[in-house]
């Protein structure tokens, strides 16, 4: 689950805060779409939730223990991300120098699961995302849709409490986009995870449980 309270973020140069007094609760198993105009601060909000940027005030509680990521130091944030957050990006960000199976296993390694325990879990998940037998392949030989499936598998493998997806279908053709979105939502619901999906696409937003719009005045 995700719990934001009274969140405020300013830009060093701008007089007006990017957002302030922001509050949001995403329950376990709930999928929330975040929409809004470009530059309104969707990505910044996402970065703040992931602990990649510092919010100026407020709290961000993540996971079953509801740890406030805003109060942690850099290393602890990294550890919290490793255990509790799964990421899906518009640009896929699959490591080209690791095989598909290795890419998916990276979060497991970051959680401290030794490599010999990976095989079954990665194989099962590859099957669930429709990539059976893709494990030993190199990312360079995969299509965009396939890469995003790999990314989804990677986001889910360590059973995080929260999935953060930033335009997950932005680089895909509409047909593939639809498939991928369906897959993501299906897997998220299946694992009872909270998810926050940033998107410009109405189609994507409409598939989510709840749609929030970020405006300079706040969330609605």
Partner 1 sequence: MITAGNRSALGTLAWWLIRAQFRSRRAATLLSMLAIGLGVALGYAIHLINDAALADFARAMKSVQGDPDAVIAARDSAGSVPLADINQLARDPAVLVVAPVIETRVRIDDSPIPVSLIGLDVFSAAAVMPQLMPRHDDRAVLDNIFAGGVYASPTLLERLGLRPGDALTLVRGEQRWRTTISGDLPATHPDEQLLVADIAWVQQRFGPAEAVSEGRVRLAPDADLSTWRTTLAQRLPAGLLIRAADDDSARLSNLSRAYRVNLNVLALVALLTGAFLVFATQLTAVAQRSTQFALLGVLGLSPRMRLLQVLLEGLAIGLPGSLLGLSLGYILAVAFTQLLGGDLGGGYFSDSAPLIVPALVPALAFLALGCLASLTGAFYPAYLNRTQALAQALTSGFSQRPAAIVASPSRLALPALLALAAFALAQLPPLFELPLAGYATIALVLAAGIASAPLLTQTMFGWLSERPLPAPQRIALQNVAQAPLMAQVAASGLIVSFALTASMVIMVSSFRVAVDHWLDHVLPAPLYLRSKATPLPQPLLDALATPDAPFARIERMATASLTLDPRRPKVALLVRELERDNPAARLPFTGPVLTPPVAMPLVWISEPMHEIYRVGAGETLRLPLLGREVDVFVGGVWRDYARQFGAVVISRDDYLSLGGDFQPTDLALWPLPGQQSVAVAWLAPPIERYGLELADSAAIRELSLSIFDKSFAVTYALEAAAMLIGLFGLAVTLAASVWLRARELATLAALGFDRRMLSTAVMLEGALIAGVGLLIGLGCGVAIGSVLTHVVNPQAFHWRMPLAIPWPMVVAGAAITLAAAVLASRYAARQATRLAVAQVLASAQ
* Chain contacts with partner 1 (rule: CB under 8 A): 43, 47, 50, 52-53, 74-75, 78-83, 85, 87, 89, 91, 93, 95-98, 102, 106-115, 154
- Cβ proximity to partner 1: between 96 and 217 the closer is 96
The two structure tokens encoding residue 169: 């279908």
Q: Would you say 164 and 49 are in contact if contact means Cβ atoms under 8 Å apart?
A: yes
Q: Would you say 75 and 126 are in contact if contact means Cβ atoms under 8 Å apart?
A: no
- Cβ proximity to partner 1: between 163 and 207 the closer is 163
CB of 49 to partner 1, least distance (A): 12
Half-sphere exposure (CA, 13 Å, Cβ side) for 143?
8
CB of 120 to partner 1, least distance (A): 16
CB of 44 to partner 1, least distance (A): 9
Expressed in percent and rounded to 5, the helix, strand and coil fractions of the chain are 40, 25, 35
The 3-state DSSP class for residue 164 equals strand
- Cβ proximity to partner 1: between 27 and 95 the closer is 95
- Cβ proximity to partner 1: between 99 and 209 the closer is 99
CB of 96 to partner 1, least distance (A): 8
Q: Find tokens 């999906």 and name the residue.
A: 197
Q: Would you say 195 and 165 are in contact if contact means Cβ atoms under 8 Å apart?
A: yes
């Amino acid at each position: 689950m995700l719990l934001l309270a009274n969140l405020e973020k300013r830009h060093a140069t701008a007089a007006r805060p990017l957002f302030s007094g922001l509050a949001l609760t995403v329950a376990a198993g709930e999928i929330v779409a975040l929409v809004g105009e470009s530059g309104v601060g969707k990505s910044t909000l996402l970065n703040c939730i992931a602990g990649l940027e510092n919010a100026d005030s407020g709290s961000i509680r993540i996971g079953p223990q509801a740890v406030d990521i805003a109060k942690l130091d850099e290393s602890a944030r990294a550890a919290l991300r490793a255990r509790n957050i799964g990421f899906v990006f518009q640009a896929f960000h699959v490591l080209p120098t690791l095989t598909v199976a290795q890419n998916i296993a990276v979060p497991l390694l970051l959680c401290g699961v030794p490599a010999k325990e990976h095989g079954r879990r990665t194989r099962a998940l590859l099957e669930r995302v429709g990539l059976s037998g893709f494990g030993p392949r190199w990312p360079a030989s995969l299509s965009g849709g396939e890469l995003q499936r790999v990314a989804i598998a990677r986001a889910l493998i360590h059973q995080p409490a929260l999935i953060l997806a930033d335009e997950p279908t932005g680089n895909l053709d509409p047909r593939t986009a639809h498939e991928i979105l369906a897959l993501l939502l299906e897997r998220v619901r299946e694992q009872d995870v909270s998810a926050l999906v940033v998107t410009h696409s109405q189609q994507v937003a409409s598939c989510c449980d709840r749609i929030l719009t970020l405006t300079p005045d706040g969330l609605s």
